[in-house]
Structure 1
Amino acid sequence: MNITLFTRFMPILLVAGQVVAAATPTTHKHTAGAAYTVSLDENDDTPYKTLSFTGINLVRAQTSGGGLTVEGGAGPGVKVEMFIRGNNGNGNLSKDEIEDRLKDYEIYIRQEGSTVVAVAKQRGSFNWNWKRGLSISFKFTTPRNMATNISTSGGGIKMSHLTGKQRFETSGGGITLVDLKGDIEGNTSGGGIKLTECRDRVVVETSGGSIDASNSSGNLKMHTSGGGIRISNLNGMINVETSGGSINGDRIDGELNASTSGGGIHIRDMAGSIEAETSAGSVEVNFTRVDKYVKLETSAGSVRVQMPMDKGMSLDLSGSRVSAPLNNFSGSAERDRIVGKTNGGGIPVVLSATAGSVSINQQ
């Protein structure tokens, strides 16, 4: 396709994948896989550069100092926008300052077969002057059916309205996921994770923030080492784990595995099966339906459960004090231990509190 490159002020050109300065404003005609315009508007909402591509099914991006955004659901083509601002507290830089600092970066945006590749990285870390640093972000507008493989060392990641295989990673920001379907996997070392309306397989991890997941279904796995977890309106196989916070949830349907080393576990409107464990808090679960199993444990708190007991259950309850309705029960019941069957036995119900009480359907 024919491409037109428009420039003004002191523009940048892509030459063999490198960014160089042009001496005077010019208009160039090329035959290649993309078309772009260059703008040096100091408004942060205005892209520094915009390119368009066709025949793309994978987005691959890397930036060392900014965020990454991928929005699906558009037409057949892919639009790439690059945004530049100072990362030393000065967001508005003159065109001369930007051009001077860009000499310290390797930047290219190009098409490689059916993949669009966008890279912005420092040329070298030796004697790097952070005062000259830039925050270089990319925004991709794509068709809904689009795979990604993106990473950033200095910003957040936002992804929405995509179907396919998604891989993403950031060392310095949060992650926001909206309306994704497919094989989804990503992590952050420096921020929280928020996801909603995600389906199929979702695996996310953070070392430094909380996790908030809602209105999603499938095989969902979420882990954080430094915050709490909030889940609501989830359906499927759900695995959540935190080393530094509590777990709170409501309207969960399916099988839930939840564990924390630093807080309580509180689940409302649980329909299905659950295995939950904490080392430093209480466990409270309110069931609307019990399916295959219930296993709740704590080392430093109590276990309190509200649940229908019309099905056959095999009870193993232990704590400093144990209380439960024992209708149609056979087995042994003591102050600190109940072991036996209700309604002939069936669903295993194991509740254990090392240093607290255990109760079922007690006010």
Structure 2
Amino acid sequence: MKKKQLLLIMCTLFASVACSAQSDEDKPYVTKNFTSASLKELTVETSGGSISVTGGQSGGFKVEMYVRPNNNWNGKKELSKEEVEDRLEDYDILIGTEGDRVVATAKRKNNVKWNNDKNVSIGFKVFTPRNVATNLKTSGGSIKIASLTGEQNFTTSGGSLKIDDLDGMIQGRTSGGSINVTNCRNDINLHTSGGSIKAEALKGKIELKTSGGSIELNSLDGEIEAHTSGGSVRGDNIRGALNAGTSGGSVRLANVSGSLKANTSAGSIEVELKSLGKYVELSSSAGSVRVTMPLDKGVDLNLKGNRVSIPLKNFDGEAEKDFVRGKMNGGGVPVTLSASSGSVYVNQ
């Protein structure tokens, strides 16, 4: 059985760890340090505040807990120490260790009814070594996570995700905010149900999905999935294999090198391909498809739309106003372009 060292931080004990009432939201209400070299994991959970985790620190873990106004504390901008302690009696707060894991949690007690006049937002900032795995969860705030190596899992029901400099298995979810991710590597899986996604300088296996916003991709390299049900897809400087789609906007991609599949149900597609990969598949149900691409290599063409326009050289096949099927330069990479309600333009 794992040795447990769980430290329950009760309101009556806060004075022993240098707590004070907060007149400045950047001042932690309580701070705890954990220096054991055996600590390799972090669990943080709060029901009403934000979470920030920053790795790359020397000297172990530092956990800071913040108590901030929620609904302006019934008209008051700040509370006295006694008033804060009174409100914290409605919560179970835990800051401690369990085996090789640091734990920081703040949960409303099950028998306490919701009271806007006494409600507070409890957030955590944690500073850790680089090689730390995390499990983070909040139902009412944002999550910021940076400078870590390992498996990272984080979820919020009501805030945004800001992610930077992670290396490993990365899985993040938000039901009500945007995602901003930069400088990450390895296996990246990020979903939001209610916001946009901005991704830059990522490398590896990448999956980005949103049900309610646009997607912006810059300097990505790897096996990439990017899909939205409610916005546009924009991208620049992408290498590898990209599968992008939207049900509610256009697709605009520049400086793409590699395999490409993209589709839209409610807009047009414009793509600049610098070099071809294994395939090109582009389709639009409600707009045109316009592509700039190298035509000096062997390709198998399957193009169709209300009108199809492409400069044909060394071509063997059929070419009509609304379709082109055949081989250029002896055939090779399959190129399939389709516009159900628009035209197809290649190098035009």
Q: TM-score range by the shorter chain?
A: over 0.9
**Local SS of the residue matching 1:197:** strand
Aligned to 2:227: 241
Q: Distance in 2 between matches of 1:298 and 1:82?
A: 50
Q: 2:308 aligns with which of 313, 322, 344?
A: 322
Aligned partner letter, 1:337: F
Q: Which runs of 5+ in 2 are unaligned?
A: none
Aligned: 1:81 with 2:67: no
Q: 1:201 aligns with which of 178, 187, 192?
A: 187
Aligned: 1:257 with 2:243: yes
Superposed CA deviations along residues 119-138 of structure 1, whole A, max 9, x for unmatched, are 10111376311221111000
Aligned partner letter, 1:86: P
8 Å CA contact 1:44, 1:92 repeated in 2:
no
Aligned to 1:21: 12
Superposed CA deviations along residues 73-94 of structure 1, whole A, max 9, x for unmatched, are 1104000000001211245222
**Residues 22 and 218 (structure 1 numbering): CA distance in 2 closer, same or farther, change over 3 Å?**
closer
TM-fit CA distance, 1:22:
5.5
State how many pairs are aligned. 339
Q: 2:41 aligns with which of 41, 52, 58?
A: 58
Q: 1:197-236 alignment to 2 at 5 Å?
A: 197-236=183-222
Aligned to 1:136: 122
**Residues 228 and 101 (structure 1 numbering): CA distance in 2 closer, same or farther, change over 3 Å?**
same
How well do the aligned residues superpose, as a CA RMSD in angstroms?
Answer: 1.6
Q: 2:29 aligns with which of 40, 48, 66?
A: 48
Aligned partner letter, 2:8: G
Q: Which runs of 5+ in 1 are unaligned?
A: 1-13, 28-35
Mean Cα deviation higher: 309-318 or 47-56: 47-56
TM-fit CA distance, 1:142:
0.5
TM-fit CA distance, 1:40:
2.7
Aligned to 1:71: 54
Q: 1:181-192 alignment to 2 at 5 Å?
A: 181-192=167-178
8 Å CA contact 1:276, 1:295 repeated in 2:
yes
Q: Distance in 2 between matches of 1:271 and 1:76?
A: 43
**Residues 88 and 327 (structure 1 numbering): CA distance in 2 closer, same or farther, change over 3 Å?**
same
Aligned to 1:271: 257
Q: Distance in 2 between matches of 1:249 and 1:179?
A: 20
Aligned partner letter, 1:53: F
Q: Distance in 2 between matches of 1:20 and 1:89?
A: 21
Q: Distance in 2 between matches of 1:126 and 1:104?
A: 6
Aligned partner letter, 2:33: S
Q: Distance in 2 between matches of 1:15 and 1:289?
A: 57
Q: Distance in 2 between matches of 1:290 and 1:300?
A: 26
**Local SS of the residue matching 1:92:** coil
Aligned partner letter, 1:261: S
Q: Distance in 1 between matches of 2:209 and 2:331?
A: 35
Q: Distance in 2 between matches of 1:190 and 1:230?
A: 18
TM-fit CA distance, 1:95:
1.1
Q: Distance in 1 between matches of 2:247 and 2:257?
A: 24
TM-score normalised by length of structure 1: 0.91
Aligned to 1:163: 149
Aligned: 1:361 with 2:337: no
Q: 1:172 aligns with which of 150, 158, 183?
A: 158
8 Å CA contact 1:85, 1:93 repeated in 2:
no
TM-score normalised by length of structure 2: 0.94
Aligned partner letter, 1:21: T
8 Å CA contact 1:73, 1:162 repeated in 2:
yes
Q: Distance in 1 between matches of 2:164 and 2:21?
A: 31
